[in-house]
């Protein structure tokens, strides 16, 4: 069908998750026109409960985009985390070990702030775009087409940023022969519950237990986010609130189990765990960023942070291209991102292997896992290594 609405811009961004919206803001601040095209409604995008931990570099990127005011007021700065295993808790003090911290501020809030800034900037955003398709990104003038309210639209642009997540259309538009994919699917997922109850502790607790991994996280002083490891075959409907709280309590050390305040869940969902990287991240005038190019299991709290570092590299490359005609940032985009991505993949895989209960692990594997936990909490060098990866390696 012919397009009956045609526009043009410099950068067409597919996807209004944190990667797409942050890229849009960074480009807008740099004076580069852009459009964001999103398949879902804004309400749907805001209803997804996901990440909670921001690295310093992500906070800096949000500051550059001019969206850090509420984050500075409401975000909780955490100086460390706790590991719980064998009935005891062990604190890893990031601040003492490496002098850096992380900020607890939900992805939903990051997205809300980015949406508000975008609306204020007047840059166009199309929500509820159906049948989004990418064309001619291997030529000079790429185009993105979509259907909205029954009419076809076409956006001509200089570049396309594929920020449409793991199941998006951007990566799927690249011929399979042009990509190499690396993947590991874990035989379990995380069942997550959000509740308006005070967090069980001041910092996050990562618990390794023979019944499976558990994580106590939070969104504020009055809102908690908890997860328990479940087999990949589980459905959230099989988990009443009572069953969830009971299972969580059994995986925590006694003081935490006792301190746990329970209440009705306001969200309950299961996220599968996967490691995935698509190489390269650039195809002509199409750049993939965030979950569209790579997935990490959430154990290392790296997904959103990687999405942010990708789009900072991309925004810098595009700014140098438009400002000085300098192609180097764009030419090196894929290689620069992938170096960082693989380090985060390694750390996320390691944290996942360290803390989860693997169904096919034998007795030897269990002893090695216990020895590794024991070594970690007894070694300042090992704690420092965890700390520098968790707070985020330098860009």
Which of these segments, 161-169, 237-245, 320-328, 379-387, binds ligand RFL (CB under 6 A)?
A: 161-169
The yes-or-no answer on residue 78 being catalytic is yes
User: Which of 79-108 are b and which e, b meaning 16 or more Cβ less than 10 Å from the residue's Cβ?
Assistant: bbbbbbbeeebbebebeebeebbbbbbbbb
Asked if 383 interacts with ligand RFL (CB under 6 A), we say no
Which residue of 11, 13, 20, 159 would you call a contact of ligand RFL, by CB under 6 A? Answer: 20
From ligand RFL, ligand PHB, none, which one binds at residue 168 (CB under 5 to 8 Å depending on kind)? ligand RFL
Query: What stretches of 119-264 adopt beta strand conformation (E)?
Result: 125-126, 130-135, 143-148, 151-156, 159-162, 180-195, 205-207, 214-218, 224-231
Q: What are phi and psi for residue 21, nearest 5 degrees? A: -70, -40
The yes-or-no answer on residue 333 being catalytic is no
Report how far residue 257's alpha carbon sits from residue 48's, in angstroms, rounded to the nearest whole number.
Answer: 28
From ligand RFL, ligand PHB, none, which one binds at residue 224 (CB under 5 to 8 Å depending on kind)? none
Radius of gyration of the chain (CA): 21
The yes-or-no answer on residue 79 being catalytic is no
Which of these segments, 49-57, 68-76, 176-184, 345-353, binds ligand RFL (CB under 6 A)?
A: 49-57
Asked if 216 interacts with ligand RFL (CB under 6 A), we say no
Which of these segments, 3-11, 93-101, 164-172, 246-254, binds ligand RFL (CB under 6 A)?
A: 164-172
Q: Which SS3 state, helix, strand or coil, does residue 285 take?
A: coil
Report how far residue 201's alpha carbon sits from residue 206's, in angstroms, rounded to the nearest whole number.
Answer: 11
Strand partners, 194: 225, 267
- Which residues contact ligand PHB (rule: CB under 6 A)? 51-53, 204, 215, 217, 225, 298-299, 301
**Nearest one of 21, 6, 5 to 304, comparing CA atoms:** 21
Asked if 103 interacts with ligand RFL (CB under 6 A), we say no
Q: Other C-beta atoms within 10 Å of 238: how many?
A: 11
Active-site residue, from 186, 227, 313, 390? 390
Q: Other C-beta atoms within 10 Å of 350: how many?
A: 16
Active-site residue, from 105, 209, 298, 321? 298
Active-site residue, from 153, 302, 321, 356? 302
Contact footprint for ligand RFL (CB under 6 A): 14-20, 37-40, 45, 50-53, 107, 129, 132, 163-165, 168-169, 190, 192, 271, 290-291, 298, 301-305, 307
Task: Return the active site residues.
Answer: 78, 206, 298, 302, 390
């Amino acid at each position: 069908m012919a397009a009956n609405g045609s526009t043009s811009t410099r950068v067409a961004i597919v996807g209004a998750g944190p990667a797409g919206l942050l890229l849009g803001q960074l480009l807008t601040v740099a004076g580069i026109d852009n459009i964001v095209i999103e398949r879902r409604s804004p309400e749907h995008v805001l209803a997804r409960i996901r990440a909670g931990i921001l690295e310093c570099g992500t906070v800096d990127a949000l500051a550059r985009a001019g969206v850090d005011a509420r984050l500075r007021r409401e975000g909780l700065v955490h100086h460390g985390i706790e590991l719980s295993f064998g009935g005891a808790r062990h604190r890893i003090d990031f601040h003492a070990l490496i002098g850096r911290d992380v900020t607890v501020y939900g992805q939903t809030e990051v997205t809300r702030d980015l949406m508000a800034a975008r609306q204020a900037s007047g840059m166009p955003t199309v929500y509820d775009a159906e049948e989004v398709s990418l064309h001619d990104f291997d030529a000079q003038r790429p185009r993105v087409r979509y259907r909205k309210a029954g009419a076809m639209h076409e956006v001509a642009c200089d570049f396309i940023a594929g920020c449409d997540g793991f199941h998006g259309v951007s990566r799927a538009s690249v011929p399979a022969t042009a990509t190499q994919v690396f993947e590991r699917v874990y035989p379990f997922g995380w069942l997550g519950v959000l509740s308006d109850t005070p967090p069980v502790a001041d910092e996050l607790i990562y618990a390794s237990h023979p019944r499976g991994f558990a994580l106590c996280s939070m969104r504020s002083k009055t809102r908690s986010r908890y997860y328990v490891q479940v087999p990949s075959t589980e459905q959230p409907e099989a988990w009443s609130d009572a069953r969830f709280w009971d299972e969580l309590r059994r995986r925590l050390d006694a003081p935490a189990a006792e301190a746990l305040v329970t209440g009705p869940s306001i969200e309950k969902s299961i996220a599968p765990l996967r490691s995935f990287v698509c190489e390269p991240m650039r195809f002509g005038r199409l750049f993939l960023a965030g979950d569209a190019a790579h997935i990490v299991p959430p154990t290392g709290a790296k997904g959103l942070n990687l999405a942010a570092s990708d789009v900072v590299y991309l925004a810098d490359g595009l700014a140098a291209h438009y400002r000085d005609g300098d192609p180097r940032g764009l030419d090196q985009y894929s290689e620069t991102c992938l170096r960082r991505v693989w380090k985060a993949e390694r750390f996320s895989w390691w944290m996942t292997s360290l803390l989860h209960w693997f169904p096919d692990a034998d007795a030897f594997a269990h002893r090695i896992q216990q020895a590794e936990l024991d070594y970690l909490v007894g070694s300042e060098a090992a704690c420092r290594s965890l700390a520098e990866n968790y707070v985020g390696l330098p860009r």
